[in-house]
Amino acid sequence: MRLKFKTREDKLSELSQYLPDGDFIAVFGTSHTSGVCKRGDSEAISREDIWAEQVGAALGLPVFNASMPGNDNDTIVQQMIDFLDVPGARERCKRVICELRIAEGTTRMSRDLLGDFGVFRRAEFVPQLTNCYSVPAKTVVDPEDGGLVGHTTITDKLLVRLPTSFKRQDKKRQYQLLLDMLPDIIDTPAPSMYDVVMDVLDNFINYENISMLPFIKDYNFVKTMNAIWRWNGIPFNWFCWDEHAQFGDPTDDFKVVRSAFKQVTDVFDTEVKLLAGSAHKHCSKSLPSDTKFSDFNCECGHQNEVMHKFVAEQIIKEIQNV
Amino acid sequence: MFDLPNVPFIAVFGTSHTYGSCQYNGKTEIEEREIWASIVGSNAGLPVVNLGTPGISNFTIIQQILDFLKIENSKNCVLALLEVRQRERLFIMSADVGSPVQQILKNDFQPEVIAGRYYSKLEEFKNLHRNSILQRVDSSMPVVNDVTRNRALYDRLLRTLAFINDEIIPNSIFDSLDTRAAFEREFNIGSISQKARDLYHIRTMIDILNLRNIPSKWFTMDLFINKNEEEEYDTLVRKFEKAAGISNNLIDGLRYGAYQMYEKDTKNTPSTCDCGHYMPDFHVWVAEKVCSEVKDILC
């Protein structure tokens, strides 16, 4: 039997099977929206406890969860474009809520520096939406559809997210985390890999993280998302789970940048007001004096069901007010 | 204030090449009518809104397109031409590394589109203290391996961006920029991820324009690939076609960059001016290639 590769349209049609029947809401986001929360041998909270499912239940609509651990705003925009091309999505999606990153201390490293282009060539690329929470098909190999090595997205293949906060961790753990991120690219890491990665982290800590550029980039991503949804006639809201720069009082620089964006863009028109700036901070403030926010943290630095419930309640209140 | 023609027109987004930057014979720009975009418009019998901006990044072009589409008469746009960057040896410098960001408070902020040639040449926008956010805060910096040249450029751009006049810019800032440039040169330039990210940004531009029913075509003026990398580049673009569907919008006659295609076609190197931009004869050649592939859209 001769095989042929599927087209983009074929793949998008396949993805449509993962959309809920009838009307639904779609959510995009990071590991928080995927419910990641490590406690003992449990890696994530139950689906029904994820904030998005609670919002969906309150609205009486099923949820298409397009979140992805390690996701970044650049990739979320691509996911959104793919999503809108999935047959039925544009017509049946009644609301979109996005949990995105604002000025997070992270950078992206290209895996092909550590492997070779051949690895990239052998992969069959699929729309960016393929590996989200609601589409459990990240690396399914199916000879019937001509996939020779399995399906993967371009960003999956190329980018590794490096939290710059790794700098604060001990080197042995840092190195192990990096190796865990590169399982399909290299069998034996080059001895210089550690140095390369440390250079990257140093560079971003010394340069990008001290400027307002990360805020400006991320607010512009929101501006792009706003346009995509507005011009498709689908209501859109966004919030940030843990905007690190918002944990303390906003700096003067931050106030200036925020004010500039308020003057000339619609970025903040769609922010979930009750979670403005940082959901983390609002949740922390809402706690009784005898409760510590850190009690809700899991072993991997995510938050448990309590925070998800708080986030869901704020979003539901805001949507119901509208 | 942000008027656009009330008749059908072509919108053009791009870099300094599209702006017409070119230092020769005491001039800093070529004539408007000599710019490739103007020639395309003239051949098509349509006015051109040239939003080319020196130093612009793909990321900022997306924001310009968003601003442009919010203007009422953008509905008269029949074609958008995108002269984008791919795999360039540049990084975005944040001016606030060099001075307090409060400097930007002095500005009356305007949509990103204001930085384009079309608005910067309009009388009501000239010499006013108006800037877009990205104009004030970021600038594309080259990462050529020439520290002296880089530092002179950093100095000039920092002063322009951050209103630093006679002050001495601390060496630590230059050191930081040198480190950043070295990082980009050693790390990002050699990787596929830079190209992939550029292609994703191009896809976003095409998609946003599609949402407003505006057809678009894109090309790159100087695509930094060697001849032996063409196969790799084709593979990448084909992958993107499968996964993201963008190569239909590529102007095929300029596939490996206008500069490289000119060399292939004519066996000559395009003539450049003192600042490394192209002379009017090259603009004519580019315009011919573009015209031959947009006929169907304009007919």
* Residue range B124-169, pLDDT digits in tens: 776 655 667 766 566 666 556 566 766 776 676 666 655 556 666 6
For helices A279-286 and A305-321, the axis angle rounded to 10 degrees is: 100
Class of domain B1-86+192-299: alpha beta
Judge: B242–A120 Cβ closer than 8 Å, yes or no: no
Q: Is B193 on the interface with A (CB under 8 A)?
A: yes
Q: What band does A237 get if pLDDT is binned at 50, 70 and 90?
A: very high
Model pLDDT, residue A149: 44
Asked whether the predicted pLDDT for residue A202 surpasses 70, the reply is: no
What pLDDT, in 10s, does the model give residues A171-184?
566 566 666 665 55
- Of A90, A84, A215, the C-alpha closest to B137 is A215
Judge: A224–B200 Cβ closer than 8 Å, yes or no: no
- Of B153, B201, B101, B54, the C-alpha closest to A213 is B101
Model pLDDT, residue A184: 53
A197: nearest CA partner in chain B:
B187
What pLDDT, in 10s, does the model give residues B50-71?
999 988 889 889 999 999 999 9
> DSSP code of B186?
I
Write out chain B residues lying below 8 Å of A10, CB-based.
none
- Tallying the residues shown for chain B, one arrives at 299
Quote the mean pLDDT of chain B.
81
- Distance CA(B70)–CA(A296), nearest Å, equals 43
Token pair belonging to B151: 């530092």
B203: nearest CA partner in chain A:
A78
- Of B41, B36, B5, the C-alpha closest to B19 is B36
Judge: B183–A264 Cβ closer than 8 Å, yes or no: no
Q: What percent of chain A has pLDDT over 70?
A: 66
Judge: A117–B190 Cβ closer than 8 Å, yes or no: no
- Distance CA(A234)–CA(A127), nearest Å, equals 21
B70: nearest CA partner in chain A:
A227
Q: Please tell me which of the candidates A112, A121, A264 has its beta carbon nearest to residue B235.
A: A121
The dihedral over CA atoms of A215, A216, A217, A218, expressed in degrees to the nearest 10, equals: 50
Token pair belonging to B126: 């000239």
Q: Which of A224, A230, A254, A258 to mutate to test binding with chain B, by most B CBs within 10 Å of its CB? A: A224
Token pair belonging to B246: 């963008």
B173: nearest CA partner in chain A:
A207
- Distance CA(B278)–CA(A161), nearest Å, equals 39
- Distance CA(A24)–CA(A43), nearest Å, equals 27
Which CA distances in Å does A287 have to A18, A109, A245, A322, B248? Answer: 37, 38, 21, 26, 54
Judge: B235–A231 Cβ closer than 8 Å, yes or no: no
Model pLDDT, residue B237: 77
User: Judging by beta carbons within 10 Å of its beta carbon (0-12, 13-18, 19+), is residue A93 exposed, middle or buried?
Assistant: buried
Domain positions in chain B: 1-86+192-299, 90-111+128-188
Q: Please tell me which of the candidates A8, A158, A207 has its beta carbon nearest to residue B245.
A: A8
ipTM of model: 0.85
- Min Cα separation B198/chain A (Å): 11
Mean pLDDT, contiguous 10-residue spans, chain B (299 residues): 91 95 90 96 96 88 94 96 83 61 58 85 69 64 64 68 60 69 61 76 94 95 74 75 78 91 92 89 96 88
Which CA distances in Å does A145 have to A4, A316, B140? Answer: 7, 42, 43
Judge: B102–A252 Cβ closer than 8 Å, yes or no: yes
Q: Is B152 on the interface with A (CB under 8 A)?
A: no
Judge: A154–B235 Cβ closer than 8 Å, yes or no: no
What pLDDT, in 10s, does the model give residues A246-292?
556 677 777 878 888 888 899 999 999 999 989 998 999 999 988 88
Measured on CA atoms in the order A84, A87, A93, A96, is the torsion positive or negative?
A: negative
